[in-house]
Structure 1
Amino acid sequence: MTTKETFILHGENLVKKIKELIAEGNIRKITIAHKDGKEIMSFPLTFGVVGIVLAPVLAAVGAVAALVGECSITVEREETKEGKESV
């Protein structure tokens, strides 16, 4: 089961937030949308994806960050078994 969470932030904080989310490790998919709701980009994440594989994604996110003002990030998280048991 997945859960969704949305963050609203400005372009200059976009790359930093994406890196933080990736470091958490339980992210399944990240979608970046403009403040008017139009999707700019979306990319899936799988377990074990690190370093060189993420470099092009982070470069694209950096380019988007330079062009947009306010945007939203929607994060799909994979619930862990521990999370299901405590709910």
Structure 2
Amino acid sequence: MEEIKVAGGNLKAKLNELIREGNIRRIVIRNPKGRTLLDLPLAAGVAGAVLLPFWAAVGTLAALATDYTIGVERDPGVTVQKPD
């Protein structure tokens, strides 16, 4: 699982970026002590309405303004090219 360190204020923006990539299978958010705060399996083409409770939880975490680690499990069958 890939791990990305991010400040609380940037948490929501980074998650938006990762979800838009389209090849994310699972996202895990951990606090600085390594405790899992949120573990979210994602399906391809997840609808915005399905993610509403997720974004509410992310907003609460971001308000705490601490550093987080985002664990990202990618779908190996999907290749995404980033724009230059």
Correspondence for 1:8 among 5, 20, 23 = 5
RMSD: 1.7
- Secondary structure class of the residue paired with 2:53: helix
Aligned equivalent of 2:29:
32
Contact 2:8 2:67 in 1 (8 A): yes
- Structure (1/2) with the larger strand percentage: 1
- Distance in structure 1 (CA, Å) of the matches to 2:46 and 2:6: 25
- Distance in structure 1 (CA, Å) of the matches to 2:20 and 2:35: 26
Unaligned runs of 5+ in 2: none
> Which stretches of structure 1, 4 residues or more, deviate above 2 A after TM superposition?
none
Unaligned runs of 5+ in 1: none
TM-score by length of 2: 0.86
- Structure (1/2) with the larger helix percentage: 1
Contact 2:23 2:78 in 1 (8 A): no
